């Protein structure tokens, strides 16, 4: 009989760090094969710390997604950056994402500084390589190597799923031995209500431009489980009357489009039919108002 020693089970936290829009949430969703963190082409889409849990026979990786590093202009922005900074101290492994087409810019340098100060194993994922040619990539890799900070530098594409397996292997190698912290079927720490809010916010973000996406917040006011469907009533908050007009659109067309997109995502998540009723309200300058921020869940208090 051949005795094969069983490999130890590994588990731990992988913090995904980087400035806004580099693809942190897209990467997390790609690993989970499911959308747990909303994505848009607008910066500052992610506003909170979100866990994504990947359970395999040999390991459990708990990804921490967060808002990107940026210069905050509002109390909301300050909260977001404090969340981003906080997760650096939580990761057993840090994965910094960089946009291949942009290279190291000022906001990336802030992230580099924080990663260096954290003194934890760090990997660099140069994302969006589907957008650049090799001629541009090689000098960027050399520049990254010269920083003597990253244990591995891996060009990836989160959307076309290039080299994600290579990056995952490098994360796994660096995780400590440990137990399965979360049950096998659990993919995120967010409540259903929070996921619903986020899907509605994502649909609103994707449909709007300029200042409007940043002024959007969502509250879920009512969730009712009927026999074969879930009935949801939610409110989209904006900061000005003009933004309200934009979100509702001509003859309510825009709100209808947002509602349909959000409903489809929520149905996918709940694997059930959903009836979604959306309202739009103005909450003047909610991003500057600490008690509004707390009401909307942008707080360090437990969810
Ligand atoms: N071309 C390309 N776009 C990407 C890739 N990864 C993410 N994106 C896009 O970049 C934008 C920002 O992504 P997101 O995950 O929200 O970034 P985050 O702010 O770092 O979480 C979205 O429009 C994504 O579709 C990639 O590998 N290639
Ligand atoms: Mg994000």
pLDDT in tens, 252-289: 999 999 999 999 999 999 999 999 999 999 999 999 99
pLDDT in tens, 219-255: 999 999 999 999 999 999 999 999 999 999 999 999 9
Pocket of ligand 1 (CB under 6 A): 18, 20-26, 39-41, 45-46, 68, 127-128, 130-131, 157-159
Cβ neighbors of 135 (< 8 A, separation 6 or more) are: none
| Number of Cβ within a 10 Å radius of residue 204 | 28
Give the number of the atom of ligand 1 that is nearest the alpha carbon of residue 65: 21
Does residue 4 have a pLDDT over 90? no
Name beta bridge partners: 282: 238
- Residue 206 CA: which ligand is closest? 1
Pair of tokens at residue 244: 């309200």
Mutate to test the pocket of ligand 1, among 23, 63, 108 (most ligand atoms within 8 A of CB): 23
Q: How far does the centroid of ligand 1 lie from the alpha carbon of residue 244, in Å?
A: 27
Give the gyration radius of the chain's Cα atoms: 20
pLDDT in tens, 186-214: 999 999 999 999 999 999 999 999 999 99
With beta carbons less than 8 A apart as the criterion, state whether 127 and 156 touch.
Answer: yes
pLDDT value of residue 300:
85
- DSSP states of 166-208: HHHHHHHHTSPB----S-TT--BS--HHHHHHHHHHHHHHHH-
How far is residue 238's CA from residue 236's CA, in Å, rounded to a whole number?
7
Does residue 163 have a pLDDT over 90? yes
Q: What is the number of H-type helices and E-type strands within the chain? A: 9, 9
Give the number of the atom of ligand 1 that is nearest the alpha carbon of residue 38: 16
How confident is the prediction for the chain on average, in pLDDT?
95
Does residue 21 have a pLDDT over 60? yes
Q: Report, as an integer, the average pLDDT of 62-91.
A: 94
Pair of tokens at residue 178: 């440990």
pLDDT value of residue 303:
52
Q: Which residue, among 299, 269, 298, 200, has the nearest Cα to 29 in the 3D structure? A: 269
Mutate to test the pocket of ligand 1, among 17, 20, 31, 39 (most ligand atoms within 8 A of CB): 39
Extended strands (E) in the chain:
10-17, 50-55, 59-65, 93-99, 122-127, 152-155, 217-225, 229-238, 273-282
pLDDT in tens, 27-42: 999 999 999 999 999 9
Does residue 301 have a pLDDT over 60? yes
pLDDT band at 302 (very low <50, low <70, confident <90, very high): low
pLDDT value of residue 99:
98
Cβ neighbors of 254 (< 8 A, separation 6 or more) are: 207, 246, 247, 248
With beta carbons less than 8 A apart as the criterion, state whether 38 and 201 touch.
Answer: yes
Q: How far does the centroid of ligand 1 lie from the alpha carbon of residue 188, in Å?
A: 20
Give the number of the atom of ligand 1 that is nearest the alpha carbon of residue 131: 1
pLDDT band at 153 (very low <50, low <70, confident <90, very high): very high
Cβ neighbors of 219 (< 8 A, separation 6 or more) are: 197, 234, 235, 237, 295, 296
Give the percent of the chain with pLDDT over 90.
94
pLDDT band at 180 (very low <50, low <70, confident <90, very high): very high
With beta carbons less than 8 A apart as the criterion, state whether 277 and 235 touch.
Answer: no
Cβ neighbors of 259 (< 8 A, separation 6 or more) are: 203, 276, 278
Pair of tokens at residue 117: 């100060």
pLDDT in tens, 97-125: 999 999 999 999 999 999 999 999 999 99
Give the number of the atom of ligand 1 that is nearest the alpha carbon of residue 18: 20
244-259: burial string, b at 16+ Cβ within 10 Å, e else = bebbbeeeeebbeebb
Does residue 94 have a pLDDT over 80? yes
Does residue 91 have a pLDDT over 80? yes
pLDDT value of residue 1:
66
Q: β-pairing, 229-238 with 217-225? A: antiparallel
pLDDT band at 55 (very low <50, low <70, confident <90, very high): very high
3-state secondary structure of 162: strand
| Sheet hosting strand 229-238, strand order edge to edge | 217-225, 229-238, 273-282
Report all structural domains of the chain as residue ranges with CATH numbers, in order of start. 10-173 (3.40.50.300), 192-295 (3.30.300.20)
Q: What angle do CA 238, 240, 243 make, to 5 degrees?
A: 70
How far is residue 13's CA from residue 184's CA, in Å, rounded to a whole number?
16
pLDDT band at 170 (very low <50, low <70, confident <90, very high): very high
Q: How far does the centroid of ligand 1 lie from the alpha carbon of residue 42, in Å?
A: 9
């Amino acid at each position: 009989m051949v005795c094969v020693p069983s490999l130890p089970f590994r588990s731990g936290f992988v913090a995904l760090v980087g400035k806004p829009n580099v693809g942190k949430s897209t990467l997390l969703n790609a690993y989970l094969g499911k959308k747990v963190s909303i994505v848009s082409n607008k910066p500052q889409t992610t506003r909170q710390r979100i866990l994504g849990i990947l359970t395999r026979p040999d390991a459990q990786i708990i990804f921490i997604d967060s808002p990107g590093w940026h210069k905050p202009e509002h109390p909301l922005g300050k909260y977001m950056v404090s969340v981003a900074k906080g997760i650096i101290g939580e990761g057993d492994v840090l994965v910094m994402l960089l946009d291949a087409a942009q290279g190291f810019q000022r906001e990336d340098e802030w992230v580099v500084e924080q990663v260096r100060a954290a003194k934890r194993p760090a990997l660099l994922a140069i994302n969006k390589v589907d957008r650049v040619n090799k001629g541009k990539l090689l000098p960027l890799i050399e520049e990254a190597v010269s920083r003597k900070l990253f244990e591995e530098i891996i060009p990836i594409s989160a959307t076309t799923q290039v080299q994600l397996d290579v990056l995952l292997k490098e994360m796994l190698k660096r995780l400590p031995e440990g137990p399965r912290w979360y049950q096998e079927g659990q993919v995120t720490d967010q409540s259903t209500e929070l996921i619903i809010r986020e899907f509605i916010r994502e649909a609103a973000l994707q449909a709007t431009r300029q200042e409007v996406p940043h002024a959007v917040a969502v509250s879920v006011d009512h969730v009712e489980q009927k026999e074969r469907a879930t009935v949801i009533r939610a409110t989209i908050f904006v900061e000005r009357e003009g933004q309200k007009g934009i979100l509702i659109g001509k003859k309510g067309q825009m709100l209808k489009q947002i509602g349909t997109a959000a409903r489809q995502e929520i149905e996918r998540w709940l694997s059930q039919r959903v009836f979604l009723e959306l309202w739009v309200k103005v909450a003047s300058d909610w991003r500057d108002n600490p008690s509004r921020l707390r009401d909307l869940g942008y707080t360090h208090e437990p969810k």
